[in-house]
Amino acid sequence: MSAPASQIDPRPADALLADIGGTNARFALARQDEISPLLMDSVREFAVADFPSLADAAQHYLDTTGASARTGVFAVAGRVDGDEARITNHPWVISGARTRDALGLESVRLVNDFAAQAMGASLLTPRDVVPIGGTAWRGHDREDRTFAIIGAGTGLGVGGLLRRDGRHYPLQTEGGHVSFAPNSPEEIEILQRMSGEFGRVSNERLVSGMGLVNLYRTLSAMAGDDPGPIHPADVTGRAKDGDARALRTIDIFCAVFGAAAGDLVLTLGAWDGVFLTGGLVPKLLNSIAHSGFRQRFEYKGRFAAVMGRVPTLAVVHPQSGLLGAAALAQDPRHTQS
């Protein structure tokens, strides 16, 4: 996945980058004097469960690669409240100041991971995306634009990207926790059964890695079966083998994903397009493209015609979160102690 440590440029980097999810922590370096600020050969990935804190994981990265940096930009899968961030699907609680001091950096900026995904979208080119419906996207121009960002991985991340007067502004949200709105008798029953287990049911309960498990288990219960212990990879693996219930699980996943993406366009006024990110998007790209995703995306009543023109773009850049962290590090107006 990444180059050996010996191939990392030994010069001190401008920034240490991190993209922290509920399962994996990705680290890299950024240098402003490069054509692209993200140094792809510096990327390393670790399991978050292997470290007691972000600082420990980051120090391990620095120690094993021999890298050094002046500042840090860390994107985390959770809400950032001032100097503190909590990972939604992992017990890490992160303090920017303590992490800065532990690593000996001049400054550290904590951002929501989908603020980083949004900034990463500002650097994407047409070769970094696969279009799934809507009008053609030819890349970024100089006009004011409003985009939405939504991505399924360990959780469901949601953000936005505004371009105004030549500058990009990422929007940090927790829109993945918006309530799930069923649209068929089958989905109504799914909501009822999940409500009995979780109480309130958000879109993330269906559109995420664990969402695949929740959906599969719920469909099994509706059929009077108990599938026993199951993991997201089991669902996708069974779907590849032609298992009817796993295939139906992925169909519903894609449909709800499309509905949530369409709702986000209406909420943000993101008529210029939606970037689909997250670890599950490349893995399920063929399913998303040939499912009810786009139909449910456009199925917005009196806005169906305008929704039909909004492009949905599956991001296939391998490190779009780190790319966004690098974009934030490149702009001195985004630095923070």
- 19 marked as part of a ligand binding site: yes
Count the Cβ atoms, other than its own, within 10 Å of residue 97: 13
* Ligand-binding site membership of 155 (annotated): no
Q: Are 24 and 18 in contact (CB under 8 A)?
A: no
Burial (CB count within 10 angstroms: exposed 0-12, middle 13-18, buried 19+), residue 205: buried
Grouping H, G, I as helix, E, B as strand and the rest as coil, residue 149 is strand
Q: Which spans in the chain are helix H? A: 54-65, 96-103, 113-121, 185-198, 209-222, 232-240, 244-268, 280-283, 285-289, 293-298, 304-307, 320-330
Q: Is 21 annotated as a binding residue?
A: yes
Query: Which residues, at least 6 apart from 82, have a Cβ–Cβ distance to it below 8 Å?
Result: none
Q: What are phi and psi of 123, to 5 degrees?
A: -105, 0
In the 3-class helix/strand/coil scheme, how is 162-224 assigned residue by residue? EEECCEEEEEECCHHHCECCCCCHHHHHHHHHHHHHHCCCEHHHCCCHHHHHHHHHHHHHHCC
Task: Enter the tokens of residue 287.
Answer: 């399913």
Task: Note whether 321 and 26 are within 8 A (CB).
Answer: yes
Q: How many CA atoms does the CB half-sphere of 312 hold within 13 Å?
A: 27
| 22 labeled binding residue | yes
Tell me: is residue 15 an annotated ligand-binding position.
no
Q: Which residues contact 245 (CB under 8 A, 6 or more apart)?
A: 216, 219, 220, 223, 238
Q: Are 260 and 152 in contact (CB under 8 A)?
A: no
- Contacts of residue 314, Cβ cutoff 8 Å, sequence gap at least 6: 129, 130, 131, 132, 276, 281, 282, 285, 288, 289
Q: Which residues line the annotated binding site for ATP? A: 18-23
**Residues placed in the known binding site:** 18-23
